């Protein structure tokens, strides 16, 4: 990563754990600053359609256990949100939660199809995300609709 770009584009609370992650992963023989940067950016840019750990490992040409360890570290720092086998960028997800809350308030809940449209995604990613949000207490499934708590 480029420190100048990171300072310009990342909030301080995001920059610190990413810097810590970079330092921890630098000790692993196959990790480089470029692969860490690619992993973090790839998940942020994927928005509602992130790769799973195996796909990300393939894209980065790294062993899946190393990638999974890094993803868990970022999840523990609140930078990623795990939904089944997918890892969503937490900053992107906060915006999504605001949109889902507004939709729920306006329409008396929302369906998976409503969420899929809002996320510009597919059922492959939308359903695990909605289930994880239910489990996290953000929403509650009532029949085919979900209500924001």
Please state the separation of Cα 40 from the chain's center in Å. Answer: 10
Tens digits of per-residue pLDDT, 2-61?
Answer: 566 656 665 666 666 666 666 666 666 565 667 666 777 777 778 888 888 888 888 777
- C-alpha neighbours within 13 Å on the C-beta side of residue 19: 13
Tens digits of per-residue pLDDT, 88-132?
Answer: 999 999 999 999 999 999 999 999 999 999 988 899 999 999 999
């Amino acid at each position: 990563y480029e420190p100048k770009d990171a300072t310009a584009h990342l909030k301080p609370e995001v920059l610190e754990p990413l810097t810590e992650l970079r330092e921890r992963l630098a000790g692993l023989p196959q990790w480089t600053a470029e692969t860490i940067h690619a992993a973090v950016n790839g998940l942020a840019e994927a928005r509602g359609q992130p790769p799973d750990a195996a796909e990300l490992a393939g894209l980065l040409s790294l062993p899946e256990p190393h990638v999974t360890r890094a993803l868990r570290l970022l999840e523990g720092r609140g930078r990623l949100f795990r939904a089944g086998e997918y890892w969503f960028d937490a900053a992107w997800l906060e915006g999504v939660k605001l949109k889902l809350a507004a939709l729920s308030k306006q329409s008396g809940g929302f369906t998976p199809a409503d969420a899929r449209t809002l996320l510009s995604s597919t059922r492959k990613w939308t359903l695990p995300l909605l289930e994880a949000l239910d489990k996290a207490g953000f929403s509650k499934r009532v029949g085919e609709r979900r209500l924001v708590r």
